[in-house]
Amino acid sequence: MTLQDIIQQLNLTVLTTPVDFASVQPENGYTSDLLSCVMSGAKSRGIWVTLQAHMNIVAVAALLELAAIIITEDAQPDLATIAKANEEGIILLSTAQSSFFVCGKLWEMGLRAG
Amino acid sequence: MIPPLIVSEALSRQIDLIAITDHNASANVGAVIKAASDTGLTILPGMELQTREEVHVLCLFDTLEQLETWQAVVNATLPNLENNIEHFGEQFVVDETGDFIRREPRLLLTSSSLTFNEAWQGVTDLGGLFIPAHINRRQNGLLANLGFVPPEIPIEGLEISRHISPEEALKKYPFIKRYPLIQSGDVHLLDSFLGSTHFTLEAPTIAEIRLALKGAGQRTVTIHPC
């Protein structure tokens, strides 16, 4: 399963500059809105599902080398955060759906916890 | 807590500067300022804001007018939910003698939709001081919720809770070394005043506290174990 499949099936909005999503293959999934938990719990090359949109999410994703962040419930990162993500090569995706819904869909598609 | 009792308790502990910081609220600050008038106690008008990220922040000001302006900003960003007294307790507004004036009907125990960075900008633009509260706490602490101190904004100080010493805090979170620390009691009851942060100031004002946090001149900030 590629990030391209995930974006299509979950109808996600791409917030950062598009890259070749078909070449990105997420290996696992994680969800939490407490960044301290994410820093110790999320695995590299995973997808992180959260409703946090603060700029700190970019640094956390860069630190852990995550495949992408899916920001849920229409939480909107500001322009500085999106610019920072582009700078760091972090993919930001968004949806109006809840974290529960997104995780359920990802699980159905075969993604598992790390 | 009843305003005159807050004042007498602080004075009896030789405390001469306190801030009143209710959760997303400020309707009782004026009463405490009145109760403290003609005493040696200075009251800083403030608020403990809960941001969109559920981070608690102390917003401290010099005047009630500044605080009222800030309260209006916050009011516009709070959800329109009614307080459920059974679950969340009473939200009384009282006068300077402690007499009941009204109940605040709106739920205050929730988050503003202001982001942490937006709140910093708003408080700073008004001349206030923005200090993330009990950063080490699991509930609503900056470090739990946002992982680390956002480097893109010049935070002037951090508050640690009564449950940790400055030494322990620095050991656990070495990256906070570059920030001045204060420690507050987060006092909800009269018997829990802490008073462990000592400021040496030329006057009890936000400008002076700001300078003390920078270590300017003879001003100092030190935390003494309780």
CATH of the domain at B136: 3.20.20
**In the predicted structure, residue B47 carries a pLDDT above the cut 90:** yes
Q: How confident is the model at residue B1 (pLDDT cuts 50, 70, 90)?
A: confident
**In the predicted structure, residue A55 carries a pLDDT above the cut 80:** yes
Q: What's the average model confidence in pLDDT over B5-33?
A: 96
Residue B116 touches chain A, beta carbons under 8 Å: yes
Domain residue ranges in chain A: 3-108
Whole-angstrom distance, CA of residue B213 vs CA of residue B223: 12
Tally of domains within chain B: 1
Of A76, A89, A85, A78, the closest CA to residue A20 belongs to: A89
Predicted confidence (pLDDT) per residue in B57-73, tens digit: 999 999 999 999 999 99
Asked whether the beta carbons of residue B147 and residue A38 sit closer than 8 angstroms, the reply is: yes
Return the higher-pLDDT residue of B88 and A15.
A15
**In the predicted structure, residue B25 carries a pLDDT above the cut 70:** yes
Q: What's the average model confidence in pLDDT over B32-59?
A: 97
What's the whole-number average pLDDT of chain B? 95
pTM check: above 0.90: yes
Alpha helices in chain B (DSSP H): 3-12, 29-36, 64-75, 85-88, 116-125, 142-146, 166-172, 206-214
Whole-angstrom distance, CA of residue B208 vs CA of residue A95: 46
When CB atoms are compared, the residue of A60, A78, A80 closest to B147 is: A60
**In the predicted structure, residue B193 carries a pLDDT above the cut 90:** no
DSSP string, B25-70: B-TTHHHHHHHHTTSS-EEEEEEEEE-TT--EEEEE-SSHHHHHHH
Contacts of B138 (CB under 8 A, 6+ apart): B144
Strands (DSSP E) contained in B69-142 are 92-94, 100-103, 129-132
Asked whether the beta carbons of residue B144 and residue A36 sit closer than 8 angstroms, the reply is: yes
Interface of A with B in 45-104 (CB under 8 A): 52-56, 59-60, 78, 80
**In the predicted structure, residue B181 carries a pLDDT above the cut 90:** yes
Q: Which of A48-52, A65-69, A85-89, B188-192 has the lowest mean pLDDT?
A: B188-192
When CB atoms are compared, the residue of B115, B146, B152 closest to A35 is: B146
For residue B112, what are the domain limits?
3-223
**In the predicted structure, residue B225 carries a pLDDT above the cut 80:** no
Asked whether the beta carbons of residue A59 and residue B148 sit closer than 8 angstroms, the reply is: yes
- B131, B184 Cβ separation under 8 angstroms: no
User: Exposed (0-12), middle (13-18) or buried (19+): which is B15, by Cβ within 10 Å?
Assistant: middle
Whole-angstrom distance, CA of residue B65 vs CA of residue B72: 11
pLDDT of A7 reads 98
Q: How many CB pairs under 8 A join A and B?
A: 38
Q: How confident is the model at residue B168 (pLDDT cuts 50, 70, 90)?
A: very high
pLDDT of B185 reads 84
When CB atoms are compared, the residue of A54, A78, A80 closest to B146 is: A54
Predicted confidence (pLDDT) per residue in B87-117, tens digit: 889 999 999 999 999 999 999 999 999 999 9
**In the predicted structure, residue B156 carries a pLDDT above the cut 90:** yes
Contacts of B77 (CB under 8 A, 6+ apart): B112, B113, B114
Asked whether the beta carbons of residue B145 and residue A80 sit closer than 8 angstroms, the reply is: no
**In the predicted structure, residue B141 carries a pLDDT above the cut 90:** yes
> Which of A33, A36, A38 to mutate against chain B (most B CBs within 10 Å)?
A36
Predicted confidence (pLDDT) per residue in A61-102, tens digit: 999 999 999 999 999 999 999 999 999 999 999 999 999 999
Distance set, CA B167 to CA A97, B164, B225 (Å) = 43, 8, 11
Asked whether the beta carbons of residue A54 and residue B116 sit closer than 8 angstroms, the reply is: yes
Q: How confident is the model at residue B186 (pLDDT cuts 50, 70, 90)?
A: confident
pLDDT of B226 reads 64
- A92, A110 Cβ separation under 8 angstroms: no
pLDDT of B87 reads 87
For domain A3-108, give its CATH number from 2.60.40.10, 3.10.20.30, 3.40.1390.20, 3.10.20.440: 3.40.1390.20
Contacts of A87 (CB under 8 A, 6+ apart): none
Whole-angstrom distance, CA of residue A56 vs CA of residue B46: 26
pLDDT of B86 reads 87
Structure tokens, B29 = 């600050």
